Structure 1
Amino acid sequence: MATLQVRQLPDDVHAELRRRANADGVSLSELVTQVLRREVALPSMAGWLAELRTAPERGPVDVLGALDAVRDERG
């Protein structure tokens, strides 16, 4: 397993991470690992833009029709 060292981490960021770790009952290392896992689970901006470029084009949205359909479903 790799080790990560963060240099020049602002004191206020470190204090908040430590506060959250304590509140969650986990170590600072565990909390930072959770935060990083959530971040890397998201697509990067470049990946998201590439996906957007290859997505099929959609026509205009009929907002009023969609609202009517929702109202009809609700009764």
Structure 2
Amino acid sequence: MSNLQVRNLPDDIHSRLSERARRLDMSMSEYVTRVLRADLDRPLFEDWATAARRAGTPRPIDTLAAIDATRDEYDPRPPAP
């Protein structure tokens, strides 16, 4: 496993990350890894738009899943024990 060091992280962001991790009962490292993984699991808009143009037909959108995913992004639930 690799390490990542973030330089010049503003104090307010550090405080908010720390508080969020504490509220979710996880280490800051675990929380930041979760945030990064969630971001990287989403395609970039440019990639999505290019794929949609190539397909030629619009894909149906699962609205309920999109709402649930967004809700989880803003209010993540800790993993089940």
State the structure with bigger RCO (CA 8 A, min sep 6), 1 or 2: 2
Alignment partner, residue 35 of structure 1: 35
Q: Which one has the largest radius of gyration?
A: 1
Gaps of 5+ in 1: 59-75
- Within a 5 Å distance, the mapping from 1:1-40 to structure 2 comes to 1-40=1-40
- Within a 5 Å distance, the mapping from 1:37-56 to structure 2 comes to 37-56=37-56
CA distance in 2, matches of 1:47, 1:22: 35
Percent identical among aligned pairs is 43
Deviation at 1:38, TM superposition (A): 0.3
CA distance in 2, matches of 1:43, 1:53: 15
Gaps of 5+ in 2: 59-81
Letter in 2 for 1:4: L
Structure having the larger proportion of residues in helix: 1
The TM-score, its normalising length taken from structure 1, stands at 0.69
Runs of 4+ in 1 over 4 A off after TM superposition: none
44-53 or 11-20, which deviates more: 44-53
